[in-house]
Structure 1
């Protein structure tokens, strides 16, 4: 055998190792030592574990829900949230029949005047007692806009925005997340 052939034969296992084994080892090390940011495409805060809303909405049709809990005083952030719920529902277009914008109101919530809710005609109001709301949210804050799946699991939370421009941008984020969920869901 010539000297060139011997050198070529000795390089072959090294090349095979570099091409096939090294990428697997590097991928394992990257996963083990968190060398990269694990990507998430949702814009909202993922609630783990999800909150169980099924006790409150058990008698309602199984739909995706945009949920807002009416606070004691409806200030600018509250108005922005109601406006966002309505606009997101409208922006869903043909998918809007799969989503229900829902406001939970309890005894301590600011009384929602009928004339005030006419500005948001697509939003449904569900009156419940404060204990039910506390059972759903337990230690979690009710200050936000939530997305609940068809089984009554509250899975995503978005903070309330006080500035209208910020609320509009957040509405786009909620809409993007909701469209992804509806695309992946066969239910509701």
Structure 2
């Protein structure tokens, strides 16, 4: 008789946590998607780009390196401030700054008023990409992964550089690519 009691006790010790975890997951499915540790807004689903979607000036590419991109219709004073913020973020990332490049993506191909040789200029050539970006807030700062996916964005009007740095440091710590 004691063998049956021990068997059921052992079985419940192993199966009860699995059952309770599964029950919690199905009764509260939004818990895991609402509680994230990032400060930027995740883009779901990610916006996948192709080489023909952007006209990138020079020999730069989205492949193999993380990209902080500011996307706007044309470059104005808000654009210049956002570019300065992106430059500050890249500088403050310190040793990992070689893993991040900066990009300005405009619809009209305009350039910032301040000359910056490290800033990559690009313009949108695809209506598909323009449509996907239009559903997100205007004049956002985007994080593009090393395979060219728009995955995270920040609103430049109330951007906190410390939070962006925390996101980037965490991302670069766990990323094997870029």
TM-score (norm 1): 0.71
1:69-118 deviations in Å (ceiling 9; x for gaps): 13446355x45422320111001112111111111133275x532xxx25
Question: Do structure 1's residue 30 and structure 2's residue 8 form an aligned pair?
Answer: no
Work out whether residues 103 and 123 of structure 1, in 8 Å CA contact, stay in contact via their aligned partners in 2. no
Question: Do structure 1's residue 174 and structure 2's residue 167 form an aligned pair?
Answer: no
Of the structure 1 ranges 37-46 and 94-103, higher mean CA displacement relative to structure 2 is found in 37-46
Alignment correspondent of 1:3: none
The 1:137/1:182 distance shift into structure 2, 3 A limit, reads farther
Question: Do structure 1's residue 112 and structure 2's residue 105 form an aligned pair?
Answer: no
Question: Do structure 1's residue 95 and structure 2's residue 91 form an aligned pair?
Answer: no
Please state whether the residue corresponding to 2:152 is helix, strand or coil.
Answer: strand
5+ residue gaps, structure 1, are 1-5
Alignment correspondent of 2:72: 70
Runs of 4+ in 1 over 4 A off after TM superposition: 8-11
Larger Cα-atom Rg: 1
The 1:172/1:18 distance shift into structure 2, 3 A limit, reads same
For residues 100 and 85 of structure 1, what CA distance do their matches in structure 2 show?
A: 10
Please state whether the residue corresponding to 1:15 is helix, strand or coil.
Answer: helix
The 1:185/1:67 distance shift into structure 2, 3 A limit, reads same
Question: Do structure 1's residue 40 and structure 2's residue 36 form an aligned pair?
Answer: yes
5+ residue gaps, structure 2, are none
Of the structure 1 ranges 50-59 and 146-155, higher mean CA displacement relative to structure 2 is found in 50-59
Root-mean-square deviation (CA), in Å? 3.0
Alignment correspondent of 1:183: 173
Q: How many corresponding residue pairs?
A: 167
Please state whether the residue corresponding to 1:25 is helix, strand or coil.
Answer: helix
Work out whether residues 30 and 36 of structure 1, in 8 Å CA contact, stay in contact via their aligned partners in 2. no
TM-score (norm 2): 0.75
Residue 13 of structure 1 deviates from its aligned partner by 4.5
